[in-house]
Structure 1
Amino acid sequence: MNDTTRKPASLIGDLDRYWLRLTLFAWAAVSIWYLYDRWGYIQWLSLGDTDDNMRLMQVRGLLQGQGWYDLRQYHLNPPQGFDIHWSRLVDLPIAGLILLFKPFVGTAEAERLACGIAPLLPLSIAMIGIAATVRRLVSPIAWPLALVFLVASCTATLLMFYPDRIDHHGWQLAMLSLTVAGLSDPKGARGGAIVGVASAVSLTIGLEMLPYCAMAGAIIALRWVWDRAEAPRMTVYALTLAGGSTLGFALFASYADRVLRCDALTPVWLSVMIAAGAFLFLLGRINPEQRWLRLALAIAAGAAIAIGFALVFPQCLGRPEQVSPELARNWLDNVREAKPIYRHPFRTAFPIVTLPVIGIIGACIATWRARGTPRANIWIPVLLFLVFAGAMLLWQTRAGPAAQLLAVPGATALAWIVLPWCLGHRLLLVRVVGTVTAFVAVSGLFAGLAIQYLAIDPPSKRTKVVDNASGRCPTIPALDPLNKLPPQTIFTFVDLGPRLITVTHHNAVAGPYHRNGDAILDVQHAFGGTPENFRAIARRHGATLLLVCPNMAESTIYRARNPGGFYDQLAHAKTFPWLEPVPLPKKSPLRLFRIH
């Protein structure tokens, strides 16, 4: 064997043998690039989402001595505070990084570095899960292509891992990556344990991935129905799901989550996980030989859980947030990411759905090609999971990051068929142009390129003006002058409250968190009602300052819904004897008033 033959063979062997360390090396390279590219944002603490700001406030509370199980945010709606329906699990890496850096760079810089680095930690798990899945389903050396697709094409997914995106979505996507890796694991007990632990961790963090956890459990049960040799996978999954959920509840459930609420891992959902684990474990131990009997037992177990849930927890049969009809109508029903993908403009929807569609097509083709082989038994569960993730987009657009992530194995399988054909073609034009074209098509990159030149749903100039105006309001240069005033409660927009309390020493009245619907409605009623009504509500909350951001999206809603209301009058420069303008720096996008 000559050297030219030995070198490719050695390279292929190394890609297979050292896939884990090479994946971590790729993660390190991506992380370094993100930190370099986003360094300016990190230094300005550009926590773009309200939840990211609130997460940092939760971590600050923990480090300043707030109780482990006390997740109230006392800087919102003081003095009683704002109940937050999260857990401390995601706080831990952020707090750990702050404590690590603080002795060297001080508290403020330690927070900036922690917020920049923390979101990249779950990205490593997501990359490992996808690489492991593709190695089993496509080829032991196909995982680098999958990582390229993940980093280059999963735009909605990667946004959840950007520096400063410290909310919990990145960790839940990482658990979803482990879930699909567990479903594709040929070793039943190990695969069941991975799915069970990943589901329990995800549920401990929050209920956003509950449908995916339920689907993963259903797929494991269906595998057992079809093949009783899958019993070890199901029994281990049952034990880890029930045990992991119990441990997660004991370690991380807040005081407020120890009642029968429907929006977190409370006794409601803990009971469901324990019951589901108990049923699946018993079925796996009984493990009858007849397939029809296994199917009947699985259906009976599912029906028992569903009926028991409806009878014991009827309050949770509706929407889990359990908000008032008025708040649902004025707020939750209008959250853009909670609307189906087909309710969004084509310019928004097309780049999100392209890769999931390609992934489903690729998974279908790969499953068909694997028919009659052991690999088909691995592809079918992944295909079901992928189709389910794509269908979730028809329910809520916020399913886009998960759908793109889970589409990577299917897209990689399709590329593994198409790209070698192009590269091996006798025509040079096909080998060069065809390969590049095939890569751009199969990866879904064409969607992002094409949308720039399509004259469909072009953003209006008005939208740009509003976005530019509102985008400056949450920045540190805009809000920092408020720190020159003594600490007090400021009445401001719901969506501006979390940012205000994060970068200033002031308190706010409300933030966009459903457990505190009364305070949110107070803000809506205050801005939409009469001036006298605003003054009374502000007094009741102890607010002494009013802060507004003209043209912020929330402000346009108040003007559109309540013409002639307090905010509409204020926006038209009407003055009130009890409202005194407070000077701010020249060109400030904010307007500040003292409430007498």
Structure 2
Amino acid sequence: MSSTRFAGFDLERELRTHWMRWTLLAWAAIAGWYLWQRWGLVNALALGDTDDNMRLMQVRGLLAGQDWFDLRQYRLSPPGGLDIHWSRLVDLPIAALILIFQPFTGTAMAERLAVGIAPTFPLAVTMLAMGAAVRRLIAPAAWPLAVIILMGCTATMVMYLPLRIDHHGWQLACLALTVMGLADASRLRGGLTVGLASAGSLTIGLELLPFCAMAGAIVALRWVWDRDEMPRMRAYGLSLAGGSSAGFVLFASNANYAMRCDALTPVWLSVMIAAGALLFLLAQLNPAGRIARLGLAAIAGAIVAGGFAGLFPQCLQRPEGVSDELANTWLNNVREARPIYKHSFAMAFPIAVLPVIGLIGAGFAAWRARTADQLVAWVAIGLFTAFAGAMLLWQVRAGPAAQLLAVPGATWLAWTVVPWFLGHRWMAVRVLGSAAAFLIVSGLFAGFVVKWVQVDPPRKMRAVVGKANARCASASAMRMLDRTIPRSTLFTHVDLGPRLIVMTRHNGIAGPYHRNERAILDVHHAFTGSPDAFRGIAKRYGARYLLVCPNMAETTVYRARQPNGFYGQLSKGKVPEWLEPVPLYTHAPYRLWRIRYDK
């Protein structure tokens, strides 16, 4: 890139020396655009995902005086409440923003501003981390390309949009910091960065546990190849063990002191401490022979894996630890838990394209590397990108991480290929060729392909379900429930529970959280069983009203499993005499009944 000056302003120098300032300025512009674009949704508190709704309830509980280590949600399945397996770490920025705005705007608007602004904070971390990574891997002025390509990572950027207050954005930020650490030529600093980023991600949740494990394996393999990598592995081992310990002590809920497999409990804490200690010990030994280092690394891996299998056999199956009935009834039907090839072309193609491009870019970058350090760094990034792509064949929920990890490789291709077109002697090639090249290497062409290749037209039933989901979760519909009936416990769908308790004063029965198997199965049994079975279950929970949302996604499961079950009969107009209709306005999305137990 040649130096470009405008009235004394040296663009290249600014990009090289003041890149953090410009990255933060770009972040502020992007965050401001997001808030302006989605302000209507923010002002309506239109939290679209059940986890986002539950996160806000967790923050409300904390600010209302709920114990720091008590993460039960007492407005679902009252009075005992439901156990939520999260930590408080992600609650902190949301709670802080509410407390900052509250004296000036009141609580309601403070909540809206907080849930609008908070998701953009991890975006700032991600942009800075990816910028630092490509500066180290490619060139000091390459970071703007990385930011532009990151903006085109549709699956990734969704996690940073206003209202997306669940923990995924922060875990992706930790993953970006991991990439930054792997790309760091300073071995000590790089090891500390990777270890602390992994510990932070695990403290938040286990969703990216496989990526954390892969990062550790890459650090160990670098040491096997080059014993001078000893400082990186030693720092990684100490920071992983120490960071995980600190995360557990500071943020683990009371419920997470049990030997469970779905969070940073004593199970995974012991694994992280053991792995970190062994890597630190190997770094101290640091034998000269590559075969000796490989053997020691293999022994350490076998000790960790064997100890895990022997001490925690309950965790060798799925980490949620649910019964076969709950898995078949609910968990196996979660769309994001399916492999990418089981999804529509319109969804799968844009997610899969960029990881492939990133892997190609990392491969060519390694081939063209000028120094041994660059070669090793690009091989590490390539391994990470390939692993993320393989994870898509397991679950499509790996899509945001896979796209994020592809950014360095795609940036290298853009930095290398686009200038060739820009320097061509023919203007048509310079203009059209460079534009086409960037669209290809950035993966942005996928959107045009999906638009013009109509291989998966929308189905009518899918549109009906989507409309019902949106209408029943709307703020106006929820407020109607508060105006219509006194504060009560409402028996309703599992997926409607978190939204109900956020938007109304009413209590619900269940939410889609695997630790609450009994409540989830009770709701499904109530809707798919006989009318008498429903009334017995509802009475046990103290429910005074039945609230249903016709055509909501969950109701299609009830009808499919038991067409003549309780919900199937309701959908056909067969209403028991002990259900007393509660009048709602003409076009209300719900049907509401008072449950009479005296008939």
SS for the counterpart of 2:456 is: coil
**What does residue 508 of structure 1 align with?**
508
Matched, 1:298 2:285: no
Please state how far the C-alpha of 1:418 moved relative to its aligned partner: 1.2
**What does residue 584 of structure 2 align with?**
584
Whether the 8 Å contact between 2:156 and 2:401 is mirrored in structure 1 is yes
Query: Under a length normalisation based on structure 2, what TM-score does the superposition of the two structures give?
Result: 0.98
Please state how far the C-alpha of 1:24 moved relative to its aligned partner: 0.7
Please state how far the C-alpha of 1:417 moved relative to its aligned partner: 1.5
Letter in 1 for 2:431: V
**What does residue 569 of structure 1 align with?**
569
SS for the counterpart of 2:573 is: coil
Deviation per CA, 1:174-205, whole angstroms, max 9, x where unpaired? Answer: 00000000000000000000001100010000
Deviation per CA, 1:36-58, whole angstroms, max 9, x where unpaired? Answer: 00100100001000000000000
**What does residue 173 of structure 1 align with?**
172
Please state how far the C-alpha of 1:9 moved relative to its aligned partner: 9.3
Q: Following the alignment from structure 2 to structure 1, what is the Cα–Cα distance between the partners of residues 158 and 37?
A: 14
**What does residue 31 of structure 1 align with?**
31
Letter in 2 for 1:57: M
Letter in 1 for 2:318: R
Bigger Cα displacement from structure 2, 485-494 vs 511-520? 485-494
Query: Residues 278-289 of structure 1 correspond to what in structure 2 (within 5 A)?
Result: 278-289=277-288
Please state how far the C-alpha of 1:11 moved relative to its aligned partner: 1.8
Query: Residues 316-331 of structure 1 correspond to what in structure 2 (within 5 A)?
Result: 316-331=315-330
**What does residue 206 of structure 2 align with?**
207
Q: Following the alignment from structure 1 to structure 2, what is the Cα–Cα distance between the partners of residues 154 and 6?
A: 32
Bigger Cα displacement from structure 2, 452-461 vs 9-18? 9-18
Matched, 1:339 2:338: yes
Whether the 8 Å contact between 2:509 and 2:541 is mirrored in structure 1 is yes
Letter in 2 for 1:115: V
Q: Following the alignment from structure 1 to structure 2, what is the Cα–Cα distance between the partners of residues 4 and 469?
A: 54
**What does residue 534 of structure 1 align with?**
534
Deviation per CA, 1:284-337, whole angstroms, max 9, x where unpaired? Answer: 011111111111100000000100111111111100000011000111111110
Q: Following the alignment from structure 1 to structure 2, what is the Cα–Cα distance between the partners of residues 96 and 366?
A: 42
Bigger Cα displacement from structure 2, 266-275 vs 358-367? 358-367
Please state how far the C-alpha of 1:450 moved relative to its aligned partner: 1.7
Q: Following the alignment from structure 1 to structure 2, what is the Cα–Cα distance between the partners of residues 494 and 386?
A: 36
Q: Following the alignment from structure 1 to structure 2, what is the Cα–Cα distance between the partners of residues 178 and 365?
A: 23
Bigger Cα displacement from structure 2, 506-515 vs 467-476? 467-476
Letter in 2 for 1:111: E
Q: Following the alignment from structure 1 to structure 2, what is the Cα–Cα distance between the partners of residues 156 and 165?
A: 13
Letter in 1 for 2:448: L
Q: Following the alignment from structure 2 to structure 1, what is the Cα–Cα distance between the partners of residues 381 and 462?
A: 40
Query: Residues 424-573 of structure 1 correspond to what in structure 2 (within 5 A)?
Result: 424-484=423-483, 485-573=485-573
Whether the 8 Å contact between 2:190 and 2:232 is mirrored in structure 1 is yes
Please state how far the C-alpha of 1:371 moved relative to its aligned partner: 6.1
**What does residue 253 of structure 1 align with?**
252
Whether the 8 Å contact between 2:494 and 2:512 is mirrored in structure 1 is yes
Name the CA shift for 1:5/1:46 in 2 (closer, same or farther; >3 Å).
closer
Q: Following the alignment from structure 1 to structure 2, what is the Cα–Cα distance between the partners of residues 285 and 379?
A: 26
**What does residue 55 of structure 1 align with?**
55
Deviation per CA, 1:118-142, whole angstroms, max 9, x where unpaired? Answer: 0000100000111011111111111
Letter in 2 for 1:444: G
Deviation per CA, 1:130-156, whole angstroms, max 9, x where unpaired? Answer: 1011111111111101101111x1000
Letter in 1 for 2:362: A
Query: Residues 8-87 of structure 1 correspond to what in structure 2 (within 5 A)?
Result: 10-87=10-87
Whether the 8 Å contact between 1:490 and 1:545 is mirrored in structure 2 is yes
Letter in 1 for 2:36: Y
Matched, 1:392 2:425: no
Whether the 8 Å contact between 2:42 and 2:163 is mirrored in structure 1 is yes
Query: Residues 356-367 of structure 1 correspond to what in structure 2 (within 5 A)?
Result: 356-367=355-366
Bigger Cα displacement from structure 2, 257-266 vs 345-354? 345-354
Q: Following the alignment from structure 1 to structure 2, what is the Cα–Cα distance between the partners of residues 265 and 452?
A: 42
Letter in 2 for 1:91: D
**What does residue 235 of structure 1 align with?**
234
Please state how far the C-alpha of 1:444 moved relative to its aligned partner: 1.0
Letter in 2 for 1:293: A
Query: Residues 155-166 of structure 1 correspond to what in structure 2 (within 5 A)?
Result: 155-166=154-165
Q: Following the alignment from structure 1 to structure 2, what is the Cα–Cα distance between the partners of residues 379 and 476?
A: 49
SS for the counterpart of 1:547 is: strand
Q: Following the alignment from structure 2 to structure 1, what is the Cα–Cα distance between the partners of residues 80 and 258?
A: 19
Letter in 2 for 1:532: D
Whether the 8 Å contact between 1:489 and 1:508 is mirrored in structure 2 is yes
Bigger Cα displacement from structure 2, 9-18 vs 478-487? 9-18
Matched, 1:593 2:593: yes
Letter in 2 for 1:410: G
Deviation per CA, 1:406-440, whole angstroms, max 9, x where unpaired? Answer: 11111111111210010000111100111111111
**What does residue 350 of structure 2 align with?**
351
Whether the 8 Å contact between 1:470 and 1:550 is mirrored in structure 2 is no
Name the CA shift for 1:562/1:8 in 2 (closer, same or farther; >3 Å).
farther
Deviation per CA, 1:203-251, whole angstroms, max 9, x where unpaired? Answer: 0000001101100001000101111111000111111110000000000
Please state how far the C-alpha of 1:159 moved relative to its aligned partner: 0.4
Q: Following the alignment from structure 2 to structure 1, what is the Cα–Cα distance between the partners of residues 5 and 69?
A: 61
SS for the counterpart of 1:473 is: helix
Deviation per CA, 1:523-580, whole angstroms, max 9, x where unpaired? Answer: 0000001111111110111111011111101001100111110000000111211001
Q: Following the alignment from structure 1 to structure 2, what is the Cα–Cα distance between the partners of residues 471 and 584?
A: 18
SS for the counterpart of 1:546 is: strand
Please state how far the C-alpha of 1:584 moved relative to its aligned partner: 1.3
Q: Following the alignment from structure 1 to structure 2, what is the Cα–Cα distance between the partners of residues 573 and 585?
A: 19
Letter in 1 for 2:198: S
Deviation per CA, 1:480-529, whole angstroms, max 9, x where unpaired? Answer: 11112221110000000000010000110000000000110000000001
**What does residue 416 of structure 2 align with?**
417
SS for the counterpart of 2:160 is: coil
Q: Following the alignment from structure 2 to structure 1, what is the Cα–Cα distance between the partners of residues 275 and 329?
A: 36
Name the CA shift for 1:315/1:140 in 2 (closer, same or farther; >3 Å).
same
Whether the 8 Å contact between 1:182 and 1:192 is mirrored in structure 2 is yes
Letter in 2 for 1:491: F
SS for the counterpart of 1:594 is: strand
Whether the 8 Å contact between 1:85 and 1:257 is mirrored in structure 2 is yes
Name the CA shift for 1:539/1:426 in 2 (closer, same or farther; >3 Å).
same
Whether the 8 Å contact between 2:5 and 2:11 is mirrored in structure 1 is no
Q: Following the alignment from structure 2 to structure 1, what is the Cα–Cα distance between the partners of residues 460 and 569?
A: 25
Query: Under a length normalisation based on structure 1, what TM-score does the superposition of the two structures give?
Result: 0.98
Identity %: 64
Please state how far the C-alpha of 1:462 moved relative to its aligned partner: 2.6
Q: Following the alignment from structure 2 to structure 1, what is the Cα–Cα distance between the partners of residues 388 and 343?
A: 18
The answer for unaligned runs of 5 or more in structure 2 is: none
Q: Following the alignment from structure 1 to structure 2, what is the Cα–Cα distance between the partners of residues 195 and 360?
A: 21
Whether the 8 Å contact between 1:55 and 1:166 is mirrored in structure 2 is yes
SS for the counterpart of 1:574 is: coil
Name the CA shift for 1:362/1:8 in 2 (closer, same or farther; >3 Å).
farther
Letter in 2 for 1:222: L
SS for the counterpart of 2:164 is: coil
Whether the 8 Å contact between 2:4 and 2:12 is mirrored in structure 1 is no
**What does residue 108 of structure 1 align with?**
108
Q: Following the alignment from structure 1 to structure 2, what is the Cα–Cα distance between the partners of residues 531 and 11?
A: 72
Please state how far the C-alpha of 1:5 moved relative to its aligned partner: 7.0
Letter in 2 for 1:320: P
SS for the counterpart of 1:83 is: coil
Whether the 8 Å contact between 2:98 and 2:110 is mirrored in structure 1 is yes
Name the CA shift for 1:8/1:420 in 2 (closer, same or farther; >3 Å).
farther
Please state how far the C-alpha of 1:470 moved relative to its aligned partner: 2.4
Q: Following the alignment from structure 2 to structure 1, what is the Cα–Cα distance between the partners of residues 260 and 396?
A: 25
Q: Following the alignment from structure 1 to structure 2, what is the Cα–Cα distance between the partners of residues 298 and 306?
A: 12
